[in-house]
Structure 1
Amino acid sequence: MNASDRLRKNIFSSIEAKKALLECDNAIQTFNSAVEKVINCYKKGGRLYIAGNGGSAADAQHLAAEFVSKLAKDRAPLPAEALTVDSSILTAVGNDYGYEYVFSRQLEAKASSRDVFLGITTSGQSHNILKAIEACKRLNVESIVFCGKDGGLVKGLTDNCIVVPGSMTSTIQEIHIVLAHTLCECVEAALFE
């Protein structure tokens, strides 16, 4: 397969996955509920914590930047933090307790019941996201997860699980970015219009 054919194939896969999401009423309704949770979090003076691994870690940082800076309009900054950026915390917790605790330990130190945690995991199986959700339950922190495939283990654990269609990690991550930008856009519209 040459580069042009591969590009066409990947664009078609992306379009098909997005069409499938449009037809998934459960995912759309869960997303709507998740947006309301984040809006209410900010109205109560809370903050958004975001985490993921690999490309999803980059997505967590990207989304935190959109909330703190802006997405589409000048506005006051909104408190959001990617739990993926402090290499000293990540390596200390990973070394002392295990990599599966790198996000939950930070939530235990920082989060309150006014806050929301957003986990991003294409497989729904990331152990550190699962531990973070367990910490959220103990701390009475609302949790949201963007995942893919069949939802994995997080599907039955989190308060708001948005399972996106697509069989390839890259396609799932593309849809996660659409969800993240739409989340931020909805929050901006609700709080600043």
Structure 2
Amino acid sequence: MHNATTEQCSSAISNRRQKSLSEWALLSVALAEPKLVAQVDAAGMELLGCLAGGGTLLVAGNGGSAAIASHVAAELVGKCIFDRSPLPAINLGESLSAVTAVANDYGYEEIFARGVRAHGRTGDVLLAMSTSGSSRNILRALDVAHARNLLTIALTGERGRDLAERADHLLVAPSQETPRIQEVHMLWAHMWCEAVDSVCAS
């Protein structure tokens, strides 16, 4: 702990808790803004329609977003809140062997794009997450998905607004803080997974 005292640790935790809660108090208001709500609902409707129609969800992200991608795929292959038949969902970064093979042979920027070419078909959905909006492997994946007629949904933060030209649906978490952006992305994804369960279990 780098010789940190108990008091220092307690103060750090308290400060971060207060900061996070304050940021979420502001986020909860911003997330209810009608235009953003409509955008999130529109993306969710198309995602749900794809899955209900037999399509596959491909999910991609780096770092913390890779963990969210894995979480989302697991919610659909398993279940979120209601029991139902499993749904096809793939985290394109799940296989360490595939990621390192593609990165080694073709470059790291191709790790998700090659997965889209391998698994994506017309009518499927690519859900791509980049907190910065500038991850080259995410940009490549979106371009390949567009060329293959997949529906594309991009989740980013306030610095990633330029992604609008690369995705059918661009959803911008109203924050520049990476932890808050990823938490918003997880919130949206959970909301969609719960909706999928509600429809597909009925």
- Give TM-score scaled by structure 2 length: 0.90
Matches within 5 A, 1:5-154: 5-23=15-33, 25-154=34-163
C-alpha distance in structure 2 between counterparts of 1:151 and 1:73, whole Å: 34
- 1:152 Cα deviation (Å)? 4.0
Separation of aligned partners in 2, 1:18 and 1:104: 34
Aligned AA (2:92): L
Identity %: 39
- Cα distance between partner residues in 2 of 1:4 and 1:138: 48
Q: Aligned runs of 1:153-172 on 2, under 5 Å?
A: 153-172=162-181
Q: Secondary structure at the match of 1:70?
A: coil
Contact 1:124-1:148 within 8 A present in 2 as well: yes
Point out where structure 1 has 5 or more consecutive residues left out of the alignment: none
Q: Hey, what's the Cα distance between the residues in 1 that align with 2:67 and 2:15?
A: 28
Q: Give the root-mean-square deviation of aligned CA atoms.
A: 1.4
TM-score by length of 1: 0.94
Q: Any stretches of 5+ residues in structure 2 without a counterpart?
A: 1-7
- Structure 1 residues 112-164: Cα deviation after superposition (integer angstroms, max 9, x where no partner): 01210100111111111110110011100000011111324422210001101
Could you tell me how far apart the structure 1 residues matched to 2:93 and 2:197 are?
24
- Asked if 1:187 is matched to 2:196, the reply is yes
Distance in 2 between residues matched to 1:177 and 1:15, nearest whole Å: 17
- 8 Å contact 2:130–2:155 — kept in the other structure? yes
Structure number with larger C-alpha Rg: 2
- Which amino acid in 1 is paired with 2:186? I
Q: Is the 8 A contact 1:146 1:161 kept in 2?
A: yes
Deviations 1:67-111 (A, max 9, x none): 111111111111111011111111111111111110011111111
